[in-house]
């Protein structure tokens, strides 16, 4: 952390100090009062959402979780982002110990809180922030705790995200490649925003300290190896890795090598900013018949290959708030009127590729209307869906190797799925 923390404060929703830890002796408890006074003064300015404040040589960095403020104060020129990240890690650790972080759980467990803060930070510099490692040598039993004298092997081996001695009868790895498609289409049918956000979500149930190597159909990797892909090679952008991945190795030869944490974690995230063809296209024609009724004709078309099938498709069509007496017909699936949302919900459990389905709906309006009618709502059509065994980017896991010194055999399972993220089409 660039620039050490002078002190950490945990405050209640009214700014009263619940717990604080002085690490460097250059701030006092009065700093918490000054921080909260400055925070209240900022409430008059709705534009001010900055989690960093400065006054009289002290920088205050803070986050709020439930009814607790976590604040780090420093007199040094510090990296605010690293301080804020550390505060979020404190939240994760406390939730691991107390289920939920709130004022009551802090009061009930203040002894453990002080011990955790002492282990997590030394003289203003972060030390251990992994809950699974801390729980090896800070153990809680009701409101008491025990501290072992020997630090866990994971700390001495510099693998803070995994402890030694893990054993499973059946060694398995589940890897889900999940892509979310975000699309915004204007009323003329033009795509004005589209991108794909992907994540490699892993669940590892492996014994010992396994070394994993993952290969993708990454164009740069294949070119570095002088190989060509059997299918499509892809260009990954904006890649972010879990801390377990050896970044130097990836930068040198694009190899994804890592010792995985135990259980569930996101190994990697990425983004593709290239324009994406809408996978489910929806057109809606709206006809008003005088002031008595309105008619909708909706076409939904799947724009992916026939071998793929979208599941749990849900199309939300906005309708006027004063519409009544719905008469709905669909060529596939079922549709219901949701007056609490001013919407018509069309659900299709299975939607194969290259298919088109229709919906017709008619609503009545009350015979008496207000003299000054409220302006019509301009809500978009929203679409939800999932397409298993399919990715928009074409990313493929070429191999997943697991090597452990005991030589056990492991079973890797890979699954692909594409789903709708923020998927909206404005009415034509």
Q: How far is the C-alpha of 12 from the C-alpha of 27, rounded, in Å?
A: 20
Rounded to two decimals, what is the model's pTM? 0.63
pLDDT tens readout for residues 82-133: 888 899 999 988 888 888 888 888 887 878 888 888 888 888 788 878 877 7
Range from 37-46, 228-237, 328-337 carrying the lowest mean pLDDT = 228-237
Output 355 or 12, whichever has higher pLDDT.
355
Is the confidence at residue 198, as pLDDT, over 50? yes
Q: How far is the C-alpha of 397 from the C-alpha of 268, rounded, in Å?
A: 13
Range from 7-21, 29-43, 238-252, 308-322 carrying the lowest mean pLDDT = 29-43
* Closest among 172, 93, 84, 92 to 135, alpha carbons compared: 93
Q: What count of residues does the chain have?
A: 428
pLDDT tens readout for residues 336-372: 999 998 999 999 999 999 999 999 999 998 865 554 4
Give the start-to-end residue ranges of the domains of the chain. Answer: 7-156, 172-276+392-425, 280-388
CATH 2.40.50.140 describes domain 172-276+392-425: no
Strands (DSSP E) contained in 123-171 are 125-126, 138-141, 144-147
Q: How far is the C-alpha of 115 from the C-alpha of 123, rounded, in Å?
A: 14
The rounded Cα 328 to chain-centroid distance in angstroms is 37
Backbone phi, psi, residue 42, to 5°: -75, -15
What integer best gives the mean pLDDT of the chain? 84
Strands 68-74, 58-65: parallel, antiparallel or unpaired by DSSP? antiparallel
The answer to whether 8 touches 121, Cβ cutoff 8 Å, is: yes
pLDDT at 42: 74
Output 417 or 18, whichever has higher pLDDT.
417
Q: How far is the C-alpha of 120 from the C-alpha of 272, rounded, in Å?
A: 37
Instruction: Identify the CATH number of the domain defined by range 7-156.
Output: 3.30.450.60
Q: How far is the C-alpha of 52 from the C-alpha of 303, rounded, in Å?
A: 47
The domain made up of 280-388 has a fold known as Immunoglobulin-like (2.60.40)
pLDDT at 376: 56
Q: How confident is the model at residue 227 (pLDDT cuts 50, 70, 90)?
A: low
Q: Do domains 172-276+392-425 and 280-388 have the same CATH topology?
A: yes
Q: How confident is the model at residue 160 (pLDDT cuts 50, 70, 90)?
A: confident
Between the alpha carbon of residue 390 and those of residues 180, 201, 279, 384, the distances in Å are: 11, 15, 11, 16
Q: How confident is the model at residue 236 (pLDDT cuts 50, 70, 90)?
A: confident
Is the confidence at residue 377, as pLDDT, over 60? no
Strands 411-425, 172-185: parallel, antiparallel or unpaired by DSSP? parallel
* Closest among 173, 170, 171 to 412, alpha carbons compared: 173
Instruction: Give the position of tokens 């301080």.
Output: 83
Q: How confident is the model at residue 428 (pLDDT cuts 50, 70, 90)?
A: low
Range from 239-253, 285-299, 361-375 carrying the lowest mean pLDDT = 361-375
Q: How far is the C-alpha of 143 from the C-alpha of 154, rounded, in Å?
A: 26
pLDDT at 45: 61
Q: How confident is the model at residue 143 (pLDDT cuts 50, 70, 90)?
A: very low
Percent of the chain with pLDDT over 90: 39
The answer to whether 418 touches 181, Cβ cutoff 8 Å, is: yes
Range from 20-24, 200-204, 252-256, 285-289 carrying the lowest mean pLDDT = 252-256
Half-sphere exposure of residue 306: CA atoms within 13 angstroms, side-chain side = 1
Q: How far is the C-alpha of 94 from the C-alpha of 63, rounded, in Å?
A: 14
């Amino acid at each position: 952390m660039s620039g050490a923390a002078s002190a950490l404060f945990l405050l209640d929703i009214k700014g009263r100090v619940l717990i604080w830890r002085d690490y460097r002796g250059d701030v006092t408890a009065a700093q918490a009062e000054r921080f909260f006074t400055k925070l209240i003064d900022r409430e008059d300015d709705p534009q001010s959402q900055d989690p960093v404040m400065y006054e009289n040589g002290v920088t205050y960095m803070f986050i709020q979780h439930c009814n607790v403020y976590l604040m780090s104060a420093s007199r040094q020129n510090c990296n605010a982002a690293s301080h804020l990240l550390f505060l979020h890690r404190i939240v994760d650790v406390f939730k691991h110990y107390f289920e939920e972080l709130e004022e009551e759980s802090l009061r009930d467990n203040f002894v453990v809180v002080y011990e955790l803060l002492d282990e997590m930070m030394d003289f203003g510099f972060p030390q251990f922030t992994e809950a699974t490692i801390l729980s090896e040598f800070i153990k809680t039993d009701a409101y008491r705790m025990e501290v072992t004298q020997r630090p866990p092997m994971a700390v001495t081996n510099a693998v803070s995200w995994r402890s030694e001695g893990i054993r499973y009868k059946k060694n398995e790895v589940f890897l889900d490649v999940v892509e979310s498609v975000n699309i915004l289409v204007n009323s003329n049918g033009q795509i004005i925003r589209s991108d794909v956000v992907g994540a490699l979500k892993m669940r590892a149930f492996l014994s010992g300290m396994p070394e994993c190597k993952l290969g993708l159909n990454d164009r740069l990797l294949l070119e570095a190896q002088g190989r060509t892909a059997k299918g499509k090679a892809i260009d990954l952008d904006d890649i972010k890795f879990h801390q377990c991945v050896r970044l130097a190795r990836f930068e040198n030869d694009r190899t994804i090598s890592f010792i995985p944490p135990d259980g569930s974690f996101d190994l990697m995230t990425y983004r593709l900013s290239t324009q994406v063809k809408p996978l489910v296209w929806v057109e809606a024609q709206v006809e008003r018949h005088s002031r008595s009724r309105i008619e909708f004709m909706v076409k939904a078309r799947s724009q992916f290959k026939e071998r793929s099938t979208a599941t749990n498709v849900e199309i939300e069509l906005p309708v006027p708030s004063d519409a009544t007496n719905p008469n709905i017909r669909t060529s596939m699936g079922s549709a219901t009127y949701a007056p609490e949302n001013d919407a018509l919900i069309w659900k299709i459990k299975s939607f194969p590729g290259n298919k088109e389905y229709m919906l017709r709906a008619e609503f009545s309006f009350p015979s008496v209307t207000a003299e000054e009618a409220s302006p019509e709502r301009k809500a978009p059509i929203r679409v939800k869906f999932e397409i298993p065994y399919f990715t928009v980017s074409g990313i493929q896991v070429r191999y997943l190797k697991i090597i452990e010194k005991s030589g056990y055999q492991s079973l890797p399972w890979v699954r692909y799925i594409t789903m709708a993220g923020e998927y909206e089409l404005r009415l034509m």
